Chain A
Amino acid sequence: MLSSRLQIRLIALVLALIGFSITWYKVDVLGIPIYPHDKRSVYNIGAEISFIGQHESALISMAIPPKQQGIRILSYDATSADFGFTTAQTANGKRAEWSKRMVDGKQRLFYSIDAIIDSHAKEEEENTLDMQLEEETLSDYTKPVLNAAQTLLKDIHNHSADAHSFTALLIQHFNADAPSQTVKMLRTQNSDDMLNLLYRLLRYEGITVRKIRGLYLGETQHNQSLIPMLEVYSNERWQLFDLKEGKIPRAANFFVWQKGGVSLLDAIGVKESKITFSVSEHRVPAGQIAKHEKMLKEAPLLNFSLFSLPVSQQNSFKHILLIPIGALVVVFLRILVGLRTSGTFMPILIALAFMQTSLIVGLIMFLVIVGFGLLIRSYLSHMNLLLVARISAVVIVVIAIMSVMSILSYKLGLDEVLSITFFPMIILAWTIERMSILWEEEGAKEVFIQGGGSLFVATLAYFAMSNTLVGHLTFNFPELLFVVLAIIIMLGTYSGYRLSELMRFKSMV
């Protein structure tokens, strides 16, 4: 039999080898870069459709993005559980269609696209002008409203030179700080939203216009809805109009999901259908982009990787995969340095919160919450409450402090503080409880040692976890976690002195 020490070393070695060899394979054979620089962004744009089945057949149809100017779509992917899936070309563009005979309960469908910003990408050839010709008569408007609208349009017509300037003025008119009587009337006239209202007015004026729905590619975003815009054709070119800003240049990172007037999502046979979008950014080396799609399909290793998950889950994993790094920092500081912290893994949770709030703001908020919490807890201790009730009371106090801080700072214009909700409340409540007991029993000094130790560990963990290289490595090479595991196992058998002990036993040598 091997001694347990040798066994542990072997296990650690094997884990480290597995981690490093998978990483090597990915770097050398699949060409995923080790360093996050020198790369282009591939944006994964995901649509998530959720609905509730009604015990009948269902047909879900969603508009899918056309080819477009400036952004190249690399691949499409539909995750559809056991639904039948097809794409169909309709008069109003391509649509994805999911169907199933019997649908029950809550269901989710995912559709995702990988795209890069590429100035060479060309728009789809289209017979744009034909499909725009339907007549708009505003026939559902009551007489006075119609009259007012006609007056308004006539006025704007007189003040504008072409379709573009007409549209700009119209939008400006609708967004005026003090909207005119006509605007108010039009907006309350019927159920049309801003987009439809402007669209119909422009069509009534005979302008060639189309609706655009899209989103800005950028940093990781969750639960987005598409931004509605209008595009107006004049002088042989299309001009983009924001519903608030008016005329805007077509931003390089504006991705058009849908063009034209048809609905984004049609759901037949289900209820509460809802669609949300998320965007996540991956850094991929320029040379790899062409192979990207092929690679994902062919390499079984990648097919079974985090990249195969829906985008919103991928984003969650970006955070989850950082936790082992935080744990490594905690293990290191406790075993090798000998720092005392309040609660073993509390610093990691605090560090995760710091990543959302930014460090300085996070530290201040932590101190304020815990400080106030301790004050109120010291009063609660006079009330002779039972433990569970007291901690629950502290949880509520923590939530109250967080709400008050958010409201106050929002009124003062400090938006950063709104991220306070990322703090783990229950952990904070326990921290307050423990520190308060510590204060009563061992004095303020121990509270500052442990509290300071915790914040120090949290800060170091924050720096380790927010490091770009670390984030890149953990997400693209999750197998490196085996290496982290090997290091932690080895640290777990370390029986040498801690740094703090070199100080503690100093008087003996």
Chain B
Amino acid sequence: MLTLQCPYCGVQADETELSAGGEAHIERHGPGSSDEAFEEYLFARENPFGVHFERWRHSYGCGKWFHAARNTVTLEVYGTYPAQTTEPPADIRKRISGVAPGWTWRFLG
């Protein structure tokens, strides 16, 4: 069972109290963008065996969206952070590097 701490209300929320929101930090490319950029925005997703960044919503609690950094293999949670960021905070990246040296994820690593 996955347990994530909501960064807004501090609750240790059980997976069943949350809604999964897919991959984190996707940059939007809308009208006027190139076909390649739009295609990437719509369809290109990571499917990592290891470190991953996701969006979650505390739907049975405060209702806020947040980000989570976790490992899809070990189910280890590296941390959660607010939704108002375009990339993972430095402290979480440092923590991941400590546990999983050499990790990469999209533009990170």
Whether A associates with B in a native complex is no
A: which residues have CB within 8 A of B? Answer: none
